[in-house]
């Protein structure tokens, strides 16, 4: 296992940020880390790479004790933060050369040249980091994180604010790295990105809520979903919300998704609208986003801790 930790716990005063979660990730896999804002994702990532000290828990990261061998873990881990954290008044090359010096890497010029080429940054190497678009900043950050050939990448919402093409290119790079044996844990709010992962972990209010492949999590949720299509379906939202058995009502494109766990109650809630010839009501397989929304709403109601 690249990561194998148990009962990971962190408090900030009386607030529970991470509440006894277990994470076990095999080497060379890409895992998605999902959860609403403030669920404890960033706190968990920082504990795994030694930037925060856990209040409780045991286990290993890259074979090292994640509590006592943090220096060894840092040397073999690449951590990409939510916010761009490199020097905007330095060029791309200058940023990478500085990082190479920090790690004390040999053959720095050749190593930086190879990294620039690998991530398509050669033609832009003299451009100041502060002048880059979000997608190119992201690529620079990934280059810096992989410069020292880490065995583990921890990516904290790396594609926030990046256009769809740049996100797709980024994920192609991630899977290329995983094919080389690098393990990746990436937190994200994008369901299409989560579906690109080998497995996903969902946490809310510091608690581990679900873990497995996308298909497994959807199946295990037991969620039943219907869609309504047609002209002017928007007024139906208020009519369906709060009905017995209706757990969530949400728009997905032009479709209205109605989800719950009791089929008979859902059918009863939808019955008044089936006679309308302008509406098409169908049962569909629940999407990951349907499950994500429902898990988020359920755990928010049950939560007593306030994570950071």
**Span 14-37, pLDDT tens digits:** 888 999 999 999 999 999 998 888
Taking only the tens place, the pLDDT of each residue in 247-265 is 888 888 788 999 999 999 9
Query: In the chain, what percentage of residues exceed pLDDT 70?
Result: 96
Does residue 95 contact residue 140 with C-beta atoms inside 8 Å? yes
Q: How many CB atoms lie within 10 A of CB 65?
A: 13
pLDDT of residue 299: 65
Helices (H), 147-287: 164-179, 191-194, 214-221, 236-240, 263-270
Q: Is pLDDT above 50 for 305? A: no
Q: Please tell me the predicted confidence (pLDDT) of residue 78.
A: 92
- Each residue of 53-75: pLDDT tens digit? 999 999 999 999 999 999 999 99
Q: Which residues contact 27 (CB under 8 A, 6 or more apart)?
A: 1, 2, 151, 181, 183
Domains and CATH numbers, the chain: 3-217 (3.40.50.300), 224-285 (3.30.70.330)
Q: What confidence score (pLDDT) does residue 164 get?
A: 82
Question: What distance lies between CA 42 and its chain's CA centroid?
Answer: 10
Band (282; pLDDT cuts 50, 70, 90): very high
pLDDT at position 227: 93
Rounded Cα distance between 132 and 92, Å, is 9
- Nearest alpha-carbon partner for 286 in 245, 213, 229, 225: 225
pLDDT digits (tens, 9 = 90+) for 222-244: 899 999 998 878 888 889 988 99
Which pLDDT score is estimated for 300?
Answer: 59
Could you tell me what percent of the chain has a pLDDT over 90?
A: 47
Give me the mean pLDDT over the 105-122 stretch.
Answer: 91
pTM metric for this prediction: 0.83
Tens of pLDDT, residue by residue over 162-217, are: 778 888 888 888 999 899 999 999 998 888 888 899 999 998 888 888 899 999 99
Residue 152 has a pLDDT of: 94
pLDDT given at position 301: 55
């Amino acid at each position: 296992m690249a990561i194998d930790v148990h009962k990971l716990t962190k408090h900030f005063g009386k607030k529970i940020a991470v509440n006894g979660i277990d994470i076990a990730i095999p080497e060379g896999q890409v895992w998605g880390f999902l959860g609403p804002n403030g669920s404890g994702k960033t706190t968990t990532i920082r504990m795994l790479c030694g930037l925060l000290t856990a209040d409780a828990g045991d286990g290993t990261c890259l074979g090292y004790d994640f509590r006592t061998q943090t220096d060894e873990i840092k040397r073999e881990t690449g951590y990409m933060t939510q916010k761009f954290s490199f020097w905007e008044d330095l060029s791309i090359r200058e940023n990478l050369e500085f990082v190479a010096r920090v790690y004390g890497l040999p053959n720095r010029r050749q190593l930086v040249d190879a990294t620039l080429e690998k991530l398509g940054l050669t033609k832009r190497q003299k451009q100041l980091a502060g002048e880059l678009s979000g997608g190119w900043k992201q690529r620079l950050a990934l280059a810096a994180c992989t410069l020292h050939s880490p065995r583990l990448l921890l990516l904290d919402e790396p594609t926030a604010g990046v256009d769809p093409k740049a996100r797709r290119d980024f994920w192609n790079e991630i899977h290329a790295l995983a094919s080389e044996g690098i393990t990746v844990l990436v937190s994200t709010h994008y369901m299409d990105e989560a579906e690109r992962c080998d497995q996903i972990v969902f946490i809310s209010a510091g608690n581990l809520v679900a873990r497995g492949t996308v298909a497994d999590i959807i199946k295990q949720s037991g969620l039943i979903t219907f869609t309504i299509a047609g002209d002017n379906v928007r007024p139906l939202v208020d009519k369906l919300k709060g009905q017995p058995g209706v757990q969530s009502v949400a728009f997905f494109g032009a479709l209205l998704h109605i989800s719950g766990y009791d089929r008979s109650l859902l059918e009863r809630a939808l019955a008044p609208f089936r006679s309308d010839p302008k509406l098409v009501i169908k049962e569909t397989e629940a999407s990951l986003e349907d499950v994500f929304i429902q898990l988020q709403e359920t755990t928010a109601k049950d939560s007593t801790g306030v994570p950071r």
